[in-house]
């Protein structure tokens, strides 16, 4: 394995773990007992958990994009849902969908298929039995509906 391949692998592992932290931060933000912004949820998480400093830039970037574009992200996810309202989607699946949507819509350096696969991995680890298939279907529809992507 070359140095470049090792660095690429390390970055992919860091991003995967960053996505798991993003899921926890989003879940904390949406919980009824938390009163604050996504940034507040990040600060609270970093203060009480051991988040690797290497992962923080990516976490901050995704959270900033989510805060700036939450309305559009929710609209795009909602349009990809088939016979569902976003409010009815469970908190874990909703968080995974939002994280995946931010990556697909706003982070060009992450290929959409990688974003979808990573979202499926999160759903397998943290969601319900049907979560991986559900997340895959919604994010695939969102990706195919994304500007410039043929159906």
- Tens digits of per-residue pLDDT, 27-59? 999 886 777 888 888 888 888 888 888 889 999
What is the CA 133 to chain-centroid distance, rounded? 16
The Cα–Cα gap between 145 and 59 comes to: 26
- Residue-wise pLDDT for 104-119, tens only, equals 999 999 999 999 999 9
pLDDT at 7 (0 to 100): 47
Q: Which CATH number fits domain 3-145: 2.40.33.10, 1.10.940.10, 1.20.210.10, 3.50.50.60?
A: 1.10.940.10
Domain parsing of the chain, residue ranges:
3-145
* Cβ-Cβ contacts under 8 Å for 117 (sequence gap 6 or more): none
Asked whether 101 and 143 are in contact (CB, 8 A), the reply is no
pLDDT at 150 (0 to 100): 44
Question: Which tokens go with 53?
Answer: 């400093």
């Amino acid at each position: 394995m070359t140095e470049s391949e090792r660095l690429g692998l390390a970055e992919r592992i860091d991003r995967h773990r960053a996505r798991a932290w993003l899921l926890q931060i989003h879940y904390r933000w949406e919980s009824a007992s938390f009163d604050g912004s996504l940034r507040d949820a990040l600060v609270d998480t970093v203060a009480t958990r051991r988040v690797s400093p290497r992962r923080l830039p990516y976490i901050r970037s995704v959270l900033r994009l989510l805060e700036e574009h939450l309305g559009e992200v929710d609209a795009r996810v909602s349009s990809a849902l088939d016979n569902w309202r976003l409010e009815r989607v469970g908190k874990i699946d909703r968080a995974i969908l939002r994280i995946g949507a931010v990556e697909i819509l706003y982070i060009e350096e992450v290929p959409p298929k990688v974003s979808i696969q990573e979202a499926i991995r999160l759903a397998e680890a943290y969601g319900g039995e049907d979560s991986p298939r559900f997340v895959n279907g919604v994010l695939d529809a969102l990706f195919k509906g994304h500007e410039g992507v043929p159906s």
